[in-house]
Structure 1
Amino acid sequence: MSVDIDKETEQVSLDVNLDNVCRLIQLARVFHAQEAVVIPEEPGSPSDDWPTQILAAHTGDQSLNEFRSIIDDLDRNQQVEVVALLWMGRGDYEPEDWYSLLSDADAEWTDYTADYLMAHPMLPDHLTDGLDMLGYHCD
């Protein structure tokens, strides 16, 4: 996995388009603002597919469908970066750990990345915080 750091700004160069991440943040805000969406803090289900099960009731939701479409259009490395931004934004890693974070996120990658991400109620805030920690911002 290649990650470039701009020598002048010492900023990590993301493979995932910033506009895509900002749109994912907007869509997650819309989706999670709905009263009908209830995602437990601690899922408690022994099944690994709990995000898919919980989100199944919302298959007709336009914000969820667009979110899934954007994630599905990203290549694996770009999906891994979005997951890494989530993990860093929620405080699991620091910016200086970006390379090991990408490795860890890649090791945990699945075909259900969109549902995994959307199953985090604080996703918009965590993605925003992750971007901020790397020096990126959505307008």
Structure 2
Amino acid sequence: MSQAEEEEEGFDLGISLEIVATVVDLANAVQEAEEARIGGDDDDEELDDDEEDEITEEMLTDYIDELNEEQQVALIALAWMGRGDYEPEEWQEALKLAAERNARGDASAYLSGLEGLADLLTEGAGAFGLAIEEVER
């Protein structure tokens, strides 16, 4: 086994890829719903009224609120990685600063307010060679 493989196996994001994938899915659904509302015309209003199982931002924030602090911090740090603020070798620093950022306990509001959250998390995981698309759902 190569040293890189050993490091990858021993590396801990502080959150499972399944949870990250769920947040990505919820964030994508919220973004799609918002885009449909913004881009919709009068004929689309009938369809919107019938879609009671539409994913809402509240569902996204509730899910994030249910995560423990370590998982919330990891999501923030992953989003920052995806935005290009940090490199993989700076992960511990990103976690430390994300923990300070999350000290107020508003991770869900902060994350849901990030433009393109799903893409940021996907890119952040990708920086470690992890593919959200490959996670079983």
Q: RMSD of the TM alignment (CA)?
A: 2.0
- Deviation, 1:13, is 1.4
Can you list the C-alpha shifts for 1:5-43, whole angstroms capped at 9, x where unaligned?
A: x98431221221211110111111111122347xxxxxx
* Structure 2 stretches lacking a partner, 5+ long: 39-53
Aligned with residue 130 of structure 1, among 124, 127, 130: 124
Name 1:66's counterpart in structure 2. 59
Can you list the C-alpha shifts for 1:86-131, whole angstroms capped at 9, x where unaligned?
A: 0010000000000111111111113221111111121111100000
Can you list the C-alpha shifts for 1:31-80, whole angstroms capped at 9, x where unaligned?
A: 1122347xxxxxxxxxxxxxxxxxxxxxxx73323212221121111100
TM-score w.r.t. the length of structure 1 is 0.71
Return the alpha-carbon distance in structure 2 between the equivalents of residues 16 and 131 of structure 1.
Answer: 11
Return the alpha-carbon distance in structure 2 between the equivalents of residues 71 and 7 of structure 1.
Answer: 31
SS at match of 1:82: helix
Percent identity over the alignment is: 33
Matched, 1:81 2:78: no
TM-score w.r.t. the length of structure 2 is 0.72
Return the alpha-carbon distance in structure 1 between the equivalents of residues 68 and 27 of structure 2.
Answer: 20
* Structure 1 stretches lacking a partner, 5+ long: 1-5, 38-60
Question: Which structure carries more strand by proportion?
Answer: 1
Question: Which structure carries more helix by proportion?
Answer: 2
Name 2:6's counterpart in structure 1. 9
SS at match of 1:9: helix
Q: Where in structure 1 do 4 or more consecutive aligned residues deviate above 3 Å?
A: 6-9
The answer to whether the 8 A contact 2:26-2:55 is kept is: no
The amino acid of 1:28's aligned partner reads A
